[in-house]
């Protein structure tokens, strides 16, 4: 029973459990369709909510809705994607039109909220005095009616600072500020604190043996700060100018025999006070080379090489000069073009012999690529006219392209003196055999105010002021007005004009107008007033020789003739107070110059010959001739031998005789130890010696050895000299019993002290007259100084 009871109970429990499970399973099965349907409805709702139904733009005042929408990466109907929203934000900010952008979504509506950047009403600079407003306005990019952005303001602030740094004002500070006005506009104000100019305190050279510091300082365009530096800007530190100086030094060395010369570094160190720079050029000179064998060969069968040999300007044994190689290459190139080989190119092949220190040059003429110049485009010349730049090219549009001639044109453009930077790049033309030359120039200041002051024992305090323009009205013409004067009564005003490419040829034409007042009472016994002018035309015959021709007109008035206590004239008998004469003359001059430095040469020759023919109308009829020669030879790297000889002669012709004003009188530098007009014929009134009388000829010569002082640094600019002079004045123009006719040779020896001082070059000479006459006027000491800027 019990078992059955138990089994029965068990069966009843199972049935209860199964019934409950069935009800649970049935409930789940009945509810599954209901669960599945809502799930499907939720997914569709989410897709619909994630798409963009409408886009609204808020906050824009000037910018149209369509403009804002054009920068979005999504449109209505697209799925709302976070990455596209982020890209849209970046695109809107990149326009620079907005200072803030926000994109939000509510349901299917996307709202673009923008805050527009203000419009600039005007741009103002405050505190600037060294740089004018026009220069700064031209430099910045933000202009009135442009959109203000902080990024552009930061960029323009850097631009203004760069302008000041180019002016040497490295301590300048610029702070931009805005003043908000109505209609979402602002006034932009740049507050400038210019600080003081950062100048070049000292220029040092390391490694230079062949040339002194003072010689190299004449080559570079940067100068040290001196007493009168306010008249020039060359003492202001400029990184671009420093790079130019580095190249000028290298070119100077390779043109003077140092083929391996390198400017290793050009370092500008700013002083701790931030006011001055110390510039140091480190130079590796290398060895001095000479030209070895010079040859020429051509691969063009129909071209006779003998026709080209006359164009060679380099000769064996001469000091190596890279400039002569370039000029010879150009000359051969032009000659081959004249012979009908327009695409020929000349390649100088260089072979060094380090042991013999010679360089062999073989000029190889070969066929070049057949490429034509389609166009020459010039940019950057805001003042200089296009034709001034184009005329320096020996090529024209349509000519055969020649790389060498383009390089030479670039060198000529740099040599004009008013272009700071020249870049010539070649680009492909409209066809494979056409090229376009893109010439980009940066103009430099072409006007300058010059001042010079000094003292000499003959003239006392002297000085001059000049105004010079090297690019008159952008035409490349030269104009100068100069005023000179001294406390001894001398004065002069000159106006000079030069057209460097007269008739578009390699001719320099110009004129000079002058007015002079000279007190010659201490030397010649009278004063004179001269007014006149000159028309001139000059041309280079080759690299070393230049020919000049001219016409000269002169009106001379003699005044204030001196008399002694017995009323005897102290001047020559033919000198008449108030006398006025007119001189009308033509002349020429021929110069030859191979010196290695235009101010302080240590090697080379200089020669000149000139003649003037008077009698083309006027009161004078004469032929005047001049001859001068100078030679410089380096005894050692530091010691130089210099010599000079010069002479002059005048002779009358026709019916008009010469007078004493036409003749020569001795100058103070002819034979040192004598005053100006201190030797030669002079008046003699009963034993009272008067003033010098003009002669028909003179000749003088000098020999000098220049050397540095031992144990004294080169950068101090001190050097010494020992010299010997000799000279003579020939017969007086006027023969008279009251004139002592003396044509004996005068001679002197002496020592000199030379100093390239901060005020300019100074020289003191102590000379002793070895040969003199009793009526001569000697001087033991002479001093001269002059400062140029």
Residue the block writes with tokens 């800027």: 789
Q: What is the pLDDT of residues 112-133, one digit of tens each?
A: 999 888 889 999 999 888 888 8
Instruction: Tell me which of 299-313, 546-560, 623-637 is least confident.
Output: 299-313
Give me 305's structure tokens. Answer: 């090489």
Give me 535's structure tokens. Answer: 């028309």
Give me 682's structure tokens. Answer: 């002079």
Residue the block writes with tokens 């530091």: 638
* End-to-end CA gap in the chain: 142
Taking the C-alpha atoms of residue 603 and residue 640, their distance in angstroms, rounded to an integer, is 8
How much of the chain, in percent, has pLDDT values that exceed 70? 87
Q: How big is the CA angle at 319 (ends 318 and 320), to the nearest 5 degrees?
A: 110
- Is a pLDDT exceeding 90 seen at residue 774? no
Give me 528's structure tokens. Answer: 């004179």
Distance from the Cα of residue 635 to its chain's centroid: 33
Give me 152's structure tokens. Answer: 């552009």
Is 663:696 a contact under the CB 8 Å cutoff? Answer: yes
Look at phi and psi of residue 145 and say left if phi exceeds 0, alpha if psi is from -120 to 50, else beta: left
Taking the C-alpha atoms of residue 234 and residue 232, their distance in angstroms, rounded to an integer, is 6
Instruction: Tell me which of 155-159, 357-361, 391-395, 546-550 is least confident.
Output: 391-395
Q: What is the pLDDT of residues 380-421, one digit of tens each?
A: 898 999 999 998 888 888 888 888 788 888 888 888 878 888
Q: Which residue, among 609, 604, 612, 600, has the nearest Cα to 543 in the 3D structure?
A: 604
Look up the pTM and report it. Answer: 0.63
pLDDT of residue 452: 63
* The length of the chain, given as a count of residues: 789
pLDDT of residue 333: 87
- Is a pLDDT exceeding 60 seen at residue 5? no
DSSP track, 708-739 = EPTTS-GGG-EEEEEEEEEEEE--BSS--TTE
Q: What is the pLDDT of residues 650-666, one digit of tens each?
A: 999 988 888 888 889 87
Mean pLDDT of 322-345: 85
DSSP-based helix, strand, coil % in the chain, nearest 5: 20, 45, 35
Crossing angle between the packed helical segments 322-338 and 239-254, to the nearest 10 degrees: 80
- Is a pLDDT exceeding 60 seen at residue 465? yes
- Is a pLDDT exceeding 70 seen at residue 787? no
Taking the C-alpha atoms of residue 556 and residue 580, their distance in angstroms, rounded to an integer, is 6
Is 363:332 a contact under the CB 8 Å cutoff? Answer: yes
Residue the block writes with tokens 């044109």: 409
Cα–Cα distances in angstroms (integers) from residue 414 to residues 378, 421, 441, in the given order: 15, 7, 10
pLDDT of residue 221: 85
100-139: string of b/e by CB count within 10 Å (b at 16+)?
ebebeeeeeebebebebbbbbbebebeebebbeeeebeee
pLDDT of residue 589: 96
Q: What is the mean pLDDT of the chain?
A: 83
List beta partners, residue 111.
Answer: 56, 104
| Torsion of Cα atoms, 241 then 243 then 249 then 252, to 10° | -90
Distance from the Cα of residue 546 to its chain's centroid: 24
Q: Which residue, among 450, 480, 448, 484, has the nearest Cα to 464 in the 3D structure?
A: 484
146 in helix, strand or coil?
A: coil
DSSP track, 448-469 = EEEEEEEEETTTEEEEEEEEEE
Is 179:189 a contact under the CB 8 Å cutoff? Answer: yes
Q: Which residues have C-beta within 8 Å of that of residue 11, sequence separation ≥ 6?
A: none
- Is a pLDDT exceeding 50 seen at residue 788? no
List beta partners, residue 422.
Answer: 441
Q: Which residue, among 456, 316, 441, 304, has the nearest Cα to 376 in the 3D structure?
A: 441
pLDDT of residue 624: 96
- Is a pLDDT exceeding 50 seen at residue 29? no
Taking the C-alpha atoms of residue 118 and residue 503, their distance in angstroms, rounded to an integer, is 56
Give me 410's structure tokens. Answer: 């670039």
Burial class of residue 541, CB neighbours in 10 A (0-12, 13-18, 19+): exposed
How much of the chain, in percent, has pLDDT values that exceed 90? 36
Look at phi and psi of residue 101 and say left if phi exceeds 0, alpha if psi is from -120 to 50, else beta: beta
Q: Which residue, among 154, 101, 161, has the nearest Cα to 128 in the 3D structure?
A: 161
Give me 183's structure tokens. Answer: 């209609």
CB-CB neighbours of 283 under 10 Å: 24
Is 723:752 a contact under the CB 8 Å cutoff? Answer: yes
- Is a pLDDT exceeding 90 seen at residue 706? yes
Taking the C-alpha atoms of residue 38 and residue 84, their distance in angstroms, rounded to an integer, is 31
Residue the block writes with tokens 């069935």: 22
Look at phi and psi of residue 79 and say left if phi exceeds 0, alpha if psi is from -120 to 50, else beta: beta
Taking the C-alpha atoms of residue 734 and residue 496, their distance in angstroms, rounded to an integer, is 35
Q: Which residues have C-beta within 8 Å of that of residue 509, sequence separation ≥ 6?
A: 498, 499, 502, 536, 537, 538
Dmax over Cα atoms in the chain, in whole Å? Answer: 191
Q: Are strands 276-284 and 199-206 parallel, antiparallel or unpaired?
A: parallel
| Torsion of Cα atoms, 540 then 545 then 551 then 553, to 10° | 130
Q: Which residues have C-beta within 8 Å of that of residue 249, sequence separation ≥ 6?
A: 216, 219, 220, 263, 281, 283
Is 663:693 a contact under the CB 8 Å cutoff? Answer: yes
- Is a pLDDT exceeding 70 seen at residue 11? no
Residue the block writes with tokens 């209901």: 34
pLDDT of residue 560: 79
Is 453:486 a contact under the CB 8 Å cutoff? Answer: no
- Is a pLDDT exceeding 50 seen at residue 14? no
- Is a pLDDT exceeding 90 seen at residue 27? no
Burial class of residue 638, CB neighbours in 10 A (0-12, 13-18, 19+): middle
CA atoms within 13 A on the CB side of 599: 13
């Amino acid at each position: 029973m019990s078992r059955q009871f138990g089994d029965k109970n068990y069966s009843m429990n199972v049935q209860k459990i199964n019934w409950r499970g069935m009800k649970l399973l049935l409930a789940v099965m009945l509810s599954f369709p209901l669960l599945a349907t809502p799930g499907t409805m939720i997914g569709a709702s989410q897709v619909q909510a994630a798409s963009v139904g409408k886009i609204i733009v808020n906050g824009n005042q000037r910018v149209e809705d369509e403009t804002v929408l054009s920068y979005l990466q999504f449109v209505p109907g697209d799925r709302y994607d976070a990455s596209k929203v982020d890209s849209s934000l970046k695109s809107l900010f990149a326009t620079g039109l907005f200072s803030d952008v926000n994109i939000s979504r509510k349901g299917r509506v996307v709202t673009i909220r923008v805050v527009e950047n203000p419009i600039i009403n005007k741009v103002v600079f405050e505190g600037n005095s060294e740089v004018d407003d026009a220069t700064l306005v031209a430099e910045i990019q933000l202009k009135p009616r442009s959109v203000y952005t902080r990024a552009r303001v930061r960029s323009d602030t850097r631009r203004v600072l760069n302008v000041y740094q180019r002016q040497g004002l490295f301590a300048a500070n610029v702070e931009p500020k805005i003043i908000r006005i109505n209609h979402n506009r602002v006034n932009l104000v740049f507050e400038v604190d210019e600080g003081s100019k950062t100048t070049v305190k000292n220029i040092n050279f390391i490694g230079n043996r062949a040339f002194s510091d003072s010689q190299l300082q004449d080559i570079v365009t940067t100068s040290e700060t001196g007493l009168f530096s306010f008249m020039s800007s060359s003492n202001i530190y400029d990184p671009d100018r420093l790079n130019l100086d580095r190249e000028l030094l290298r070119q100077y060395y390779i043109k003077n025999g140092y083929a391996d010369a390198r400017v290793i570094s050009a370092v500008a160190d700013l002083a701790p006070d931030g006011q001055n720079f110390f510039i140091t050029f480190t130079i590796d000179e290398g060895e001095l080379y000479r030209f070895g064998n010079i040859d020429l060969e051509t691969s063009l069968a129909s071209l006779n090489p003998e026709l080209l040999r006359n164009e060679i300007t380099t000769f064996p044994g001469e000091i190596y000069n890279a400039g002569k190689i370039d000029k010879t290459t150009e000359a051969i190139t032009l000659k081959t073009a004249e012979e009908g080989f327009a695409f020929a190119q000349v390649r100088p092949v260089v072979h060094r012999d380090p042991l013999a220190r010679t360089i062999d040059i073989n000029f190889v003429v070969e066929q070049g690529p057949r490429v034509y110049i389609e166009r020459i485009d010039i940019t950057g010349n805001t003042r200089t006219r296009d034709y001034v730049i184009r005329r320096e090219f020996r090529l024209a549009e349509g000519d055969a392209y020649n790389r060498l001639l383009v390089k030479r044109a670039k060198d000529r453009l740099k040599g004009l003196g008013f272009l700071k930077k020249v870049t010539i790049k070649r680009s492909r033309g409209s066809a494979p055999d056409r090229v376009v030359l893109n010439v980009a120039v940066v103009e430099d200041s072409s006007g300058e105010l010059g001042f010079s002051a000094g003292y000499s024992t003959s003239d006392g305090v002297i000085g001059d002021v000049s105004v010079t323009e090297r690019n008159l009205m952008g035409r490349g013409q030269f104009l100068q007005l100069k005023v000179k004067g001294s406390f001894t009564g001398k004065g002069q005003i000159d106006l000079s004009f030069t057209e460097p490419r007269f008739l578009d040829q390699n001719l320099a034409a110009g004129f000079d107008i002058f007015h002079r007042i000279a007190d010659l009472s201490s030397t010649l016994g009278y004063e004179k007033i001269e007014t006149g002018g000159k028309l001139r035309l000059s041309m280079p015959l080759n690299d070393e020789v230049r020919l000049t021709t001219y016409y000269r007109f002169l009106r001379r008035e003699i005044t204030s003739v001196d008399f002694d206590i017995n009323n005897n004239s102290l001047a020559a008998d033919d000198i008449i107070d108030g006398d006025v004469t007119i001189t009308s003359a033509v002349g020429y001059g021929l110069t030859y110059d191979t010196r290695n430095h235009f101010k302080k040469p240590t090697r080379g020759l200089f020669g000149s010959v000139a003649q003037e023919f008077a009698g083309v109308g006027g009161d004078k009829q004469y032929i005047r001739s001049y001859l001068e020669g100078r030679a410089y030879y380096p005894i050692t790297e530091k010691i130089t031998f210099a010599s000079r000889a010069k002479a002059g002669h005048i002779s009358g012709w026709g019916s008009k005789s010469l007078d004493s004003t036409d003749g020569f009188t001795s100058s103070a530098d002819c034979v040192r130890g004598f005053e100006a007009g201190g030797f030669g014929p002079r008046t003699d009134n009963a034993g009272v010696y008067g003033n010098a009388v003009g002669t028909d000829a003179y000749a003088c010569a000098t020999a000098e050895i220049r050397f540095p002082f031992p144990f004294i640094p080169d950068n101090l600019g001190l050097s010494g000299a020992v010299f010997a002079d000799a000279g003579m004045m020939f017969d007086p123009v006027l023969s008279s019993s009251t004139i002592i006719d003396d044509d004996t040779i005068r001679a002197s020896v002496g020592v000199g002290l030379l100093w390239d001082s901060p005020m300019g070059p100074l020289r003191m000479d102590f000379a002793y007259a070895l040969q003199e006459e009793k009526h001569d006027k000697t001087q033991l000491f002479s001093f001269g100084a002059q400062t140029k800027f």
